[in-house]
């Protein structure tokens, strides 16, 4: 199914039922008082987070959602029944905002979380509510209150621990298929990935993390070029970014350093907070580099990029180096889950840093 991460819907809670004017008409009762009941409240509209859903595609085909109104009050002290509520199931990670103002109203971040997105109107009062010592036969009643009506924008930001980013055809889909249960479409041409893919990486018993593979970015993505700009939002909730680099591009004229700098620049333009997230380099496709040239090529790449941080040398196709990467990522994710925004010392056994990079500055 095509991934849909944005939708617009109109919702309407039910109106309240009207109150009733009625009097007792019973044999042998000389003074029949008022007995008009209240109207029932209108139905509410709820949103619930459901982990079994991963797209908003259902709301593309069903945009209008209305709850039933409350029943009117009746005589003989009978109150109207409340209108039926409706429950809209949405993926975990959905942001609900006002379609006109853009104000964020709710965020569904936990499985089973329920929020009231439109409140039904209260029922009106029947005349029995207005009975008093000086008004024994009231003929007043009130109409039901209208239910809330809203136009909403639904936006999905996937909840993943780790996000893969890089140029098209850098090998991100091959990497996520090598380390997780995800099976994205893989081909040897750019923009094979057209929508985000989520995969669960199993490290051990009850030890796992979620990784997201996004469409490739190109220079100008933050301004609308290519496909990646549509999905940069999905990186905002990740704890760690893995910047996947193609170390063996088809075109010899392509400079991986220039491509890497372009990606970093797009992150900074799109969101400063996203740019500041922990970011590790994953140098991919090293199986296609002659063994005697690998060390020199990696050293030259990191030196020219002036990157100071964890660097991993892998081949997603042969899975060389993938286990080291997975173990290091799990350590980072686990530590951040326990204490967000606290720097974590990565186990050096799982980090491979090229030599002579100590004097370089951070990208």
Ranges of each domain in the chain: 1-156, 162-350
Q: Which residues are annotated as a binding site for GTP?
A: 166-173, 191-195, 213-216, 284-287, 315-317
Q: Length of the chain in residues, anyone?
A: 363
* pLDDT reading at 30 higher than 60: yes
Let me know: does 282 contact 243? Beta carbons within 8 Å: yes
Q: What is the rounded CA–CA span in Å between residue 319 and residue 310?
A: 19
Q: Indicate if the pLDDT at residue 59 is higher than 60.
A: yes
The phi, psi pair for 160, rounded to 5°, reads -125, 150
Q: Which residue has the tokens 């088809």?
A: 250
Residue-wise pLDDT tens digits, 247-289: 888 777 788 888 888 888 878 887 788 888 888 999 998 888 8
Instruction: State the CB neighbour count (10 A cutoff) for residue 229.
Output: 19
Provide the CATH number for the domain formed by 162-350 in this structure: 3.40.50.300
pLDDT tens digits, 67-77: 999 999 998 88
**pLDDT-based confidence at residue 340 (cuts at 50, 70, 90):** low
CATH class entry, domain 1-156: mainly beta
**Contact call for residues 341 and 327 (beta carbons, < 8 A):** no
Exposure b/e, 302-323, CB count within 10 A at least 16 = b: bbebebebbbbbbbbbeeebbe
Residues annotated within a binding site: 166-173, 191-195, 213-216, 284-287, 315-317
Beta-carbon count within 10 A of 83 CB: 27
Task: Indicate if the pLDDT at residue 213 is higher than 90.
Answer: no
Nearby residues of 61 by Cβ (< 8 Å), 6 or more positions away: none
Average pLDDT over residues 339-343: 51
Give alpha helix (H) positions in 151-213. Answer: 172-179
- Alpha carbon distance 332, 162 (integer Å): 10
Residues 265 and 228 sit within 8 Å (Cβ to Cβ) = no
Select from 359, 351, 289 the least CA-distant residue to 321: 351
Q: Band the pLDDT of 218: cuts 50, 70, 90.
A: low
pLDDT tens-digit map of 130-147:
998 888 889 999 999 999
**Which DSSP symbol is given to 1?**
-
Sheet holding 6-12, edge to edge: 64-66, 6-12, 149-156, 94-98, 104-107
DSSP tag of 320: B
Residues that constitute the known binding site for Mg(2+): 173, 193
Q: Is 150 exposed, middle or buried (0-12, 13-18, 19+ CB in 10 A)?
A: middle
9 vs 60: CA distance, rounded Å: 8
Task: Mention every residue, 6+ apart, whose C-beta is less than 8 A from residue 36.
Answer: 19, 20, 21, 22, 23, 73, 74, 75, 126, 127, 128, 141
The pLDDT value recorded for residue 290 is 86
């Amino acid at each position: 199914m095509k991934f849909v991460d944005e939708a617009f819907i109109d919702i309407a809670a039910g109106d309240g039922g009207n109150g009733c004017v009625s009097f007792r008409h019973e044999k042998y009762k000389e003074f029949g008082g008022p007995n008009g009941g209240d109207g029932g409240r209108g139905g509410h509209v709820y949103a619930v987070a459901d982990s079994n859903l991963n797209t908003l595609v259902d709301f593309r085909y069903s945009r209008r959602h209305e709850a039933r109104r409350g029943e009117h009050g009746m005589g003989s002290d009978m109150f109207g029944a409340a209108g039926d509520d409706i429950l809209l199931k949405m993926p975990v990670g959905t942001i609900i905002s006002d379609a006109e103002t853009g104000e964020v109203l709710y965020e569904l971040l936990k499985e089973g979380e329920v929020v009231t997105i439109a409140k039904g109107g209260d029922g009106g009062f029947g005349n029995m509510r207005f009975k008093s010592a000086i008004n024994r036969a009231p003929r007043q009643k009130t109409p039901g209150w209208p239910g809330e009506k809203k136009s909403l924008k639904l936006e999905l930001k996937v909840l993943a621990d780790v996000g893969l980013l890089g140029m098209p055809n850098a090998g991100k889909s091959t990497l996520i298929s090598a380390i997780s249960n995800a099976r994205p479409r893989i081909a040897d041409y750019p923009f094979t990935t057209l929508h985000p893919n989520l995969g669960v990486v199993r490290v051990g018993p009850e030890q796992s993390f979620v990784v997201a593979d996004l469409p490739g970015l190109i220079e100008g993505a933050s301004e609308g070029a290519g496909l990646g700009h549509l999905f940069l939002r999905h990186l905002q909730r990740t704890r760690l970014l893995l910047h996947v680099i193609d170390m063996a591009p088809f075109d010899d004229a392509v400079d991986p350093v220039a491509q890497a700098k372009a990606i970093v620049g797009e992150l900074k333009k799109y969101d400063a907070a996203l740019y500041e997230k922990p970011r590790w380099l994953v140098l991919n496709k090293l199986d296609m580099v002659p063994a005697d040239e690998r060390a020199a090529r990696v050293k030259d790449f990191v030196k020219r990029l002036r990157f100071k941080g964890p660097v991993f040398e892998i081949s997603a196709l042969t899975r060389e180096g993938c286990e080291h990467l997975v173990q290091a990522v799990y350590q980072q994710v686990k530590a951040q889950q326990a204490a967000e925004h606290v720097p974590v010392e990565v186990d050096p056994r799982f980090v491979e840093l090229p030599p002579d990079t100590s004097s370089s500055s951070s990208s």
